[in-house]
Amino acid sequence: MAVQAFTSSRVVLPGKMGAFAVFVEGQRIVEVVPRNQIPRSVPVTDLGDLAILPGLVDSHIHINEPGRTEWEGFRTATRAAAAGGYTTLVDMPLNCVPATTSPEALDAKRKAAQGQCQVDWAAWGGLVPENLERIAPLASAGVFGFKCFLIHPGIDEFTMINESHLRTALPNLKKTGLPLLVHAELPGPIDSATEELMQADWRVYGTYLNSQPDESELSAIELLIRLCEESGCRIHIVHLSTSKALARLQDAKRRGLAITVETCPHYLHLCSDEISNGATLHKCAPPIRSRENREALWQGLREGIIDFVATDHSPCPPAMKQMERGDFRSAWGGIPSVSVALSLMWTEASRRGFSLVDMVRWMAEGPAQLAGLEERKGRLASGFDADMVVFDPEAEWTVTPADLHYRHAISPYLGERLTGKVLMTFLRGECVYKQGSFLAESRGREYTRKPFVTDQN
C-alpha cells in the first residue's frame, strides 16, 4: 500500500510541536519526520498552519446501548465523537442494559455496536456486589479495567459497593493488573446535607451544590488512597470535582502509590457562580463548584496532580432534565460534551497559557495510558494507528444544535463562543469526518487487547 504524507507547521508529537510530516501507510503511521525530509515520490497533503493532533481518546463516556438507546447509542455517540476529534471511546459499564458486569453482557454490547461505529471503542467492565469474585472471566472476555460506585449511581441496574466489597475485590483485581475506576463520593455527607435542605428551594443551584459537600468526595478519596496503599492495585479517580482533595492526592503520588486522577471539561469551564436558577442542564455529580475551585483544578492539572481530562459524556432525553420545572433535585445528572470537549478545553487552556502539547497529553496520551491502549492510540508515532485530527486553533465559532451530533441536541454550551475547531478526523488512515459531514461510515470497530492471561484459576 502506498505511503502518503500529512504535513503541517504544527504537528503535535509526544512532548513537542513543530513542522513535521506524518507518513501513513494503510491504517498505521509508518514514521514521523521533519518536514524538510519528505521524499519527492510521496504524495503530500499540506495542511499549512492547521494543527495535526493524534485522535483523542475518551476514557469516560456513557454510550448507553443496548438498553437505553433512546438516551444515546453507538451510532450517535461515535458520530459526535468523530466530530469532536475523538477516535477511541472507552465505554462505561452502566446506563446500558444489561450493565457490562458479565461476559454475556459484554457480548450483548458487542452485538449492539456492530456496523454502527464511526470511531473505535473498547469497554470497561462493572464491579458490583454480585461479581466481586468473578473478575477474571470478564477481564478475559476483553474489558480494559473495572468501574465501581461508592454511592448510588442514579439507575437501578448497577449496584454501589462499600469498603468491605472493595476489600474482597481488590486481591482478585490485582491478579489481572487492570485498573479500578472509582466514582469517589461517599453517601454519608450527601445524605445528611440533603436531609437538612428538604425545605429549601431546589430551583436554586446553590441548594443542589450545598447538598453535595466536598467532604463526600474527600472521604471517598481518603479511603481509596488507603486501599491503594494496602492492596497495590491501580486505582483511578474519575471526574474529580473538589480541589480540596488535591493535596492528599499529591501526597499519595509522591509516595509512589498507583493512583491516577481525571477531571472533566465541565469542571474546568463552568462554575457555580454563573449557573442560573432552574438551569438543570448543568446538573452532574459530583457537582460543578465555585470559580475558585475551578481555578484550583487548573492548577492541579498544571502540577500534574490531575493526570488527564475525560468527558463523562452522559446524555439523556430532554424530558429527564425537567427544564421547565427546573428542579435540581429530581432532574437527571449528566452533561454530554464529546463533540465540543476539545474546543471547550482549548478555549480555557489557551487563555491560561497552555499549549496544544498539553491538550494532547490530557486528552489523548493520558486516557490511552489508563486504558492500556498506549501502544496503538493517543500519539502520532511510528507503529501507531493513523488516527489524526486536523484542528484550527484560531477558529472562533458559536455552538449550535447542529454541532452536537449526539442523540438529543441539548447542552449547557449552546450559544457559547468557543476558540478552536475540529475540521477533519481520520480513523486508521481514512477521513471519517470533514466539516460537518461524516465519510467512510461505520469503519469503527472494537479495540481488542492481546489475549489476557491471569494466574487466577
Looking up cell 452502566 gives: 94
User: What is the rounded (10 degree) CA torsion for 395, 11, 14, 353?
Assistant: -40
Q: What b-and-e string marks burial along 91-129, b requiring 16 or more CB atoms within 10 Å of the CB?
A: bbbbbbbbbbbbbebbebbeebbeebbbbbbbbbbbbbe
Cell numbers that stand for 450 in this block = 492481546
Q: Nearest distance from residue 60's CB to Zn ion, in Å?
A: 6
Q: Is 349 helix (H, G, I), strand (E, B) or coil?
A: helix
Distance between CA atoms of 228 and 233, rounded to whole angstroms?
6
Q: Nearest distance from residue 61's CB to Zn ion, in Å?
A: 8
Q: Nearest distance from residue 344's CB to Zn ion, in Å?
A: 17
| Distance, CA of 261 to chain centre | 12
Q: Nearest distance from residue 238's CB to Zn ion, in Å?
A: 6
Q: Nearest distance from residue 382's CB to Zn ion, in Å?
A: 34
Q: Give counts: helices (H), strands (E), the chain.
A: 13, 18
Backbone φ and ψ of 218, nearest 5°: -60, -45
Residue among 266 and 443 whose Cβ is closer to Zn ion = 266
Residue among 314 and 369 whose Cβ is closer to Zn ion = 314
Residue nearest to Zn ion (CB): 312
Instruction: Report the candidate in 66, 54, 63 with the shortest Cα–Cα distance to residue 6.
Output: 54
Q: Nearest distance from residue 227's CB to Zn ion, in Å?
A: 21
Q: Nearest distance from residue 388's CB to Zn ion, in Å?
A: 27
Give yes or no for a contact between 245 and 221, defined as CB atoms under 8 angstroms apart.
yes
Residue among 59 and 87 whose Cβ is closer to Zn ion = 59
Q: Which residues sit at the interface with Zn ion, rule CB under 5 A?
A: 312
Distance between CA atoms of 406 and 336, rounded to whole angstroms?
8
- Cα dist from 97 to 64, 76, 93, 424, whole Å: 8, 17, 9, 33
Residue among 335 and 418 whose Cβ is closer to Zn ion = 335
Exposure on the CB side of residue 440, measured as CA atoms within 13 A: 16
Residue among 58 and 312 whose Cβ is closer to Zn ion = 312
Residue among 208 and 391 whose Cβ is closer to Zn ion = 208
Residue among 21 and 92 whose Cβ is closer to Zn ion = 92
Q: Nearest distance from residue 183's CB to Zn ion, in Å?
A: 7
Residue among 312 and 387 whose Cβ is closer to Zn ion = 312
